[in-house]
Amino acid sequence: MSVSYYTPEGFKNLKDELEQLRSIDRPSISRQIAEARDKGDLSENAEYHAAKEAQSLLELKIAKLEDVMANARIVDETQFDNSKVLILSKVSLKNISNSMELSYTLVAEAEADLIAGKISVSSPIGQGLLGKVVGDIAEIQVPNGMMKLEILRISR
């Protein structure tokens, strides 16, 4: 698994989700299995098989989250300079084709939320902006053609 970078908030969300899965969801599924087992013949007990399937999926999800957290790095925003676009940069942009101004914060893939204005550094736009400085024009290939974005401001 590769290293993933998270904000302190994003890492806390991962930790909270893992805690929820371990302390609430796991015991709940164990109770469901026990209740289904008490109903008799396991070979024809659909509830038992469904609960066992849910348990397998839950354990897989827990293992994946543990792996992600083991390879996660928390990014310290105070160590970055604002002279160029990096992960956690808040970037104000102007779309050259329609003069529309946009603002995005570049985050790790797991924290991306377009509605909140957070785009992944691994997305085409995120990759096209990385390393740019104020005044640069990023030419980014998107599904419906070439997009030209001028970097107006970079902040944290």
CATH of the domain at 124: 3.10.50.30
Report yes or no: 52 and 43 within 8 Å, Cβ to Cβ: no
- Cα dist from 153 to 13, 78, 91, 135, whole Å: 29, 18, 6, 8
Task: Identify the three-state secondary structure at position 156.
Answer: coil
Give the integer Cα–Cα distance in Å for 26 and 88. 34
Give the integer Cα–Cα distance in Å for 19 and 30. 16
* Whether residue 87 is found in the same domain as residue 64: no
**Which parts of the chain register pLDDT below 70?**
1-2, 77-80
**What pLDDT score does 1 carry?**
52
Domain count along the chain? 2
**What pLDDT score does 79 carry?**
67
Domain boundary, last residue among 19, 44, 74: 74
* Whether residue 88 is found in the same domain as residue 61: no
Domain boundary, last residue among 34, 54, 74: 74
Number of H helices, E strands in the chain: 4, 7
**What pLDDT score does 119 carry?**
93
| Segments forming the whole domain that contains residue 37 | 4-74
**What pLDDT score does 44 carry?**
75
* Whether residue 148 is found in the same domain as residue 101: yes
Burial 115-154 (b: 16+ CB within 10 A, else e): eeebbbbebebbebbbebeeeeebebeeeeeebebbbeeb
* Whether residue 52 is found in the same domain as residue 24: yes
* Whether residue 51 is found in the same domain as residue 96: no
**What pLDDT score does 153 carry?**
93
Domain boundary, last residue among 51, 74, 97: 74
* Whether residue 67 is found in the same domain as residue 88: no
